[in-house]
Amino acid sequence: MKNKYLSHFGLWFSLLLLSACGAPNTPQAVTDAFWNAVIDNDAAAVVKLSTLTSEEGYDSFGREWNGFDLKLGRVVIDREKATVEAVLTKVTAEREDQRELTTYLIQRDDQWLVDYTRTSREASGGELGALFGRISDAISEKFDNTRKATEPEIEDMNQQLQAMSDDLARQAETQIQQYSEELSDYLDEFADSIEGLLEDKQGELSPEDQQKLSQMIDRLRTSQQSLDEPSFRAISEATVSAGITQSQLALMDEGVVGENLEEWRQEYHEAMEEMKVFIRELMNDQGQ
């Protein structure tokens, strides 16, 4: 009970200082207040201290933080960006639960804020979650800004994912199998949808567009087949394949893709959300 009151007091005092000063003085102060808000499940304070824009978007990083104690560690400041190491520990009669997390911050208008997206990846999935997140970012960047060639970045991150330890892969065999089946279903439906478009507009499409769509279908089918032997490598390549296919569809003439593009975009977003759940469950099961 004493720790709970101290936690509330720490959050209240930190926010009071921030209000009095008009803006946070240091990344440490913001990080301290932010994690105390998370511990107290204070969504309003989390929004105030981070890049999160609404309380509805606060997901507590997929776990319960009540009862954790906070200690801050190494601080690195690089111009308008900073990282602060945070150690959250909860001790019960049964076990000690400790999470070592990197808090990412950015400076906006002379005010330090926790970068909620990057910090959320760290809190939800650790190293693997952050890596998947960077793959998703690279794909999204290509989708939103098609003039940037991001394939080398994607390939580099793909290789990093493939380098995950064999030991972790063996421990996570059940989760990998289940998620591979879900991802395979998504790729199958994605390929079927493009195939349906190709058949429906066979007489309207140029030979070039027909070739592009056929190549997309082949890529998705190949990635789907690789998931028959589930592995981190197969999951990584399938995720990248879906993202690049999505971005290539966005480059095609609207008369070709029509209303399908928005549907594909939504389905891809849902697939990425399922990937986040997979990562979170995987890391929780591995005790990370």
Angle at 240 between CA 104 and CA 51, to 5 degrees: 25
- pLDDT of res. 129: 52
Which residue intervals of 173-259 are DSSP H helices?
173-200, 207-226, 232-251, 254-257
**Could you tell me the residue ranges of all domains in the chain?**
2-114, 130-285
- pLDDT of res. 165: 45
- pLDDT of res. 18: 44
For residue 157, give the amino acid letter: M
- pLDDT of res. 21: 42
- Give the 3-state secondary structure of residue 254: helix
Give the tens place of pLDDT for each residue, 19-61.
434 445 689 999 999 999 999 999 999 999 999 988 988 888 7
- Give the 3-state secondary structure of residue 148: coil
Distance in angstroms (rounded) separating the CA atoms of residues 223 and 234? 7
- pLDDT of res. 35: 95
* pLDDT in 10s for each residue of the chain, 288 residues: 434 333 443 444 444 444 434 445 689 999 999 999 999 999 999 999 999 988 988 888 777 888 999 999 999 998 899 999 999 998 877 777 778 888 999 998 888 999 998 888 767 655 455 555 555 555 555 555 544 444 555 555 555 555 554 455 556 677 888 888 999 999 999 999 999 998 888 888 888 889 989 999 998 999 899 898 887 778 877 887 888 888 788 878 877 887 888 888 888 888 877 877 777 676 665 544
- pLDDT of res. 48: 92
- pLDDT of res. 57: 85
Give the global pTM. 0.48
- pLDDT of res. 177: 86
Residue 108 neighbours by CB under 8 Å, 6+ apart: none
- How far apart, in Å, are the Cα atoms of 39 and each of 8, 10, 29, 52, 94? 9, 11, 16, 17, 20
- pLDDT of res. 277: 77
- pLDDT of res. 92: 79
- pLDDT of res. 3: 43
- pLDDT of res. 15: 43
Give the tens place of pLDDT for each residue, 55-104.
988 888 777 888 999 999 999 998 899 999 999 998 877 777 778 888 99
CATH 3.40.50.2300 fits 2-114, yes or no: no
- Give the 3-state secondary structure of residue 163: coil
- Closest to 82 in 3D by CA, of 28, 132, 133, 131: 28
Q: Which residues of 134-171 are buried (b: 16+ CB within 10 A; e: fewer)?
A: bbbbbbbebbeeeeeebeebbeebbeebeebeeeeeee
